[in-house]
């Protein structure tokens, strides 16, 4: 079981967001991608380029539930 806990400044408590991460992997000639969905408001894409020596992260957060 994977657990993600997110805390933000000006919040009095941390938000427990997920117990399960949904992942999809895509492989191409130039880049491999891993799409991860942590909750309805947190996701990321990890890109690994075949001819490069770095990894690229794209994060999407929001809208943040405050109820």
pLDDT digit string, tens, across residues 21-49 = 899 999 999 999 999 998 888 899 999 99
For the chain, give every domain's residue range.
20-67
The CA distance from 33 to 64, in Å, is: 25
Q: What is the pTM of this model?
A: 0.68
Q: What is the dihedral of CA 19, 34, 7, 13, to 10 degrees?
A: -20
Query: CA quadruple 6, 55, 36, 1: dihedral positive or negative?
Result: negative
The CA distance from 27 to 12, in Å, is: 41
Task: Provide the pLDDT confidence category of residue 62 given band limits of 50, 70 and 90.
Answer: confident
**For residue 63, with 0-12 CB atoms within 10 Å meaning exposed, 13-18 middle and 19 or more buried, which class applies?**
exposed
């Amino acid at each position: 079981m994977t657990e993600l806990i997110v805390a933000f400044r000006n919040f009095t408590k941390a938000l427990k967001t997920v117990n399960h991460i949904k992942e999809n992997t895509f492989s191409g000639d130039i880049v491999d991608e891993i799409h991860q969905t942590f909750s309805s408001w947190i996701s990321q894409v990890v890109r690994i380029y075949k001819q490069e020596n770095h990894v690229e992260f794209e994060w999407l957060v929001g809208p943040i539930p405050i109820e």
